[in-house]
Every structure is written in C-alpha cells, then in structure tokens.
Structure 1
Amino acid sequence: MPLSFMHMQTLIHSSFIVHTSVGTVELRLLEAAEIDRPGLPAGYRAPMVLIFSAPSSPILAQDNYYFDHPKLGRHFWSVAPVLPPEKQPVTVNNEPLSFYQVLFN
C-alpha cells in the first residue's frame, strides 16, 4: 500500500512499534508534513517527513528499522534522530523524550 500524506495525517498521535536490536520501542507519530518540491512531475508523490517521539531510552541510532502499525502493517523505514519540535509534547510524568524523523523523497 503506497503511503500518502493524507493517510499519514489520519495517524497522528498513534503508536508505532519499532523493532530494534534491544527489543521493541513504541514511537508516537507527532507530525506529518509535505515538503514543497517545485517542478515535481504529476503522478509523483510529494516528499514528506514524519516526526516521532519516543522514550529517552533506548536511544535509536540513525538506521533502518521495521515499523509495525495496526492500520499500515509492517514497513522498513530509515530513521534519524532530530532536535525536539518547537511545541514539545508534555508527558504524563514529565519524562524526557527523544525525537526521530522518517523522510520520504
């Protein structure tokens, strides 16, 4: 199933299970944004970036991971750590979070 910006928007605030070498980690989708690319031929998907939050430990290295989601199934995505967004989410216990991005060109 091809992923679209509109579809990912409906999944904001939902959880994804990521499979790492130290076990599974839950990432929460915070943002989905299209990236403007003038001159993109018709029929091509616009690039988009997904921003996720996660517990501060374990820290995920920039790498490729399997992501599972009940509505999407399993996908293999490249993840990179990023700085926190301007509006950082507040956690129940004020626990620190880590932030990651998945970029689709």
Structure 2
Amino acid sequence: MRLAAALRNGALDLLIVTGAMPLLDNNTMAVWGERVLVALPHDHPLSSRQTVHWDDLRGETVLLSHYDPGKELEDLLVSKLASPEARPKVEHHDVSRGIIKSLISMNTG
C-alpha cells in the first residue's frame, strides 16, 4: 500500500509488481508474460485441455523438485491462488525434473 501511495504522490516514477494491484489508479501495462508447462498423466481429466488455468489446479497434487525452479514455481502458485484453501497440495521431492516426470506418469501427482 505504501508503494502505491508513493507512486501516486510522485515519490516513485515506476512500480513493478507481480499479479494485480487493484488500488493503483495509474496507467498499468503488462511487462512480460511466461507460460508454465504442466505435465499430466494421459488419463487425467485436465489432459484433454489445450490450456490449464491456475484455478484448475485447485485440489490437485503438484509435484515439484527441490532444485530450480521448484521454489519459484511454488511462489508463483501461491501468488496465483492466494487463499490457503484454494492452493493445490504441493509435494517437494529431492530429485531431478526427469524423475518428477516419471512420478507423474505413475499417477502420484
């Protein structure tokens, strides 16, 4: 809130934030957008979709590696699905992304 006020009163010239800041009454623009790929088992209900939205991950088990970009992806999930009850179950594994894909193919997440 203080950053938004500083932008409004001219103390800041530019404010870069993740997500939306509905309190900003200034001009806004998207600076960049990245797609995140989701690996799903063939028989998963979401696997037939062309696009999976953040809200679609509610109630799902998401497998992440402890290695890069595991923490960043979890932070992104938390930012997109802010309330704790809306978040998917996140399981961290001390394995590579290749092993994560194998775990997914075994329907563990």
Higher strand share: 1
Greater Rg by CA = 2
Structure with the higher helix share, 1 or 2: 2
Q: TM-score, normalised on structure 1?
A: 0.26
